[in-house]
Structure 1
Amino acid sequence: METSIVGVGVSVTDRFRSVVEEKVVRIEQLASRAQRIDIKVTHRAYRNGRVPDDIVELTLVGKGPLVRAEATDGDKFAALDFAVDKMCEQLRRLKGKRVDARNHPRGAHFEKGSGELEGIDVEPASIETIRAVENGETPPSQKEEEEYTPVVIRVKSFDAEWMTAEEAVDRMELVGHDFFLFVDARTDHPSVVYRRKGWDYGVISLETQAPPEAALAS
């Protein structure tokens, strides 16, 4: 499997390349059909005195859909470790996922398509933030705010995609999330698939209807 490493704002040393080659072996064992893995290391500095950090992004290219993983840490070697762990976990889920056709009266099955996943913009929390939350402390990124609240609402909008629930589960596993929003191709209802205990999944759908005001007006 080919390996491509790009540094943005940071030099890629021979030592880092050597560590990458060692870590990539784990991924090769889980994705024998992969053709190439692209690794992007971005150094991020801050003007407000916050400690700089490094972002490591992994993109696995091969037959079938692309698989991505990303991690952030103050040390690029640690970020690489976390990103590799995330990608290996995604590959294990994909490899170990089994669909019992008897549980799907419609005879549904998984079909892994090809192409790049678009519209996904997720920035994982840093190790400092995770540790602060575990200890009940204020995350570093929030310490400069006048008021801190543990509830942060981030709003994102994506184009609606019509697919089956099984395809939505497949997409969810690829991006490593616990849920995935979509429009059910069978019912045209806005829906979300989510992970339950073990390898069980659930689906929640909304049955849209006109609001009471619209009904009275008609």
Structure 2
Amino acid sequence: MDVVVKGHHCEVSDRFRQYVEEKLARIEKVDHRVLRCEVEVSLEKNPRQHDRAMRVELTMYTKGPVLRAEASGETKQAAFDVSLDRLRAQVRKAADRRRVHRGEHSPEGLRHVNAKQTTNGNAPATEESAAEEEVRTQKFGSLTVTGDGPLVMREKTHTAKPMTLDQALYELELVGHDFYLFVDADENQPSVVYRRRGYDYGVIRLAV
């Protein structure tokens, strides 16, 4: 698994990077489908939030859904540990879903497990188990995102008639954008005209 650690308005020491890599390496034992994990550490400059000054966002790319988790704390390590616990819960739940899909087993609900453990005299489920039950899944088209990450997607559908390249350039200047999507009347292809440096333009066509 590739691990990328980035700092925003703060420095990230080699010691912290090593700590992050060692912790994340354990997740691969839970799910071998993990490909890459991005760790972004940011500093909250508001003095009133000194107890939550450090914020850590985790984005994990797998062969399945994209998993996200975030948390704040007084130190980088504290914030990372909390966000990692949340991410680990999502990884385990995603793995359970795949096993259920393959028909290997059907995981019991938290309430049923608690009741059975109480009957057997064992302690009820931990907070980590409760966190697993609260994981939220969002779906944007064919993309599935599990977790509370800051994924924002905006989708628009426009009706348009085919036009020439000259017309597309005129529309580009008219709306004031850096690019304009259109159907090229001459080539009969979805195309994008975009602004380059100076007064140059470029065209990208999609062969379908």
Choose between structure 1 and 2: higher strand proportion.
2
Larger radius of gyration between Structure 1 and Structure 2? 2
Name the structure with the higher helix share: 2
Return the TM-score normalized by structure 2: 0.47
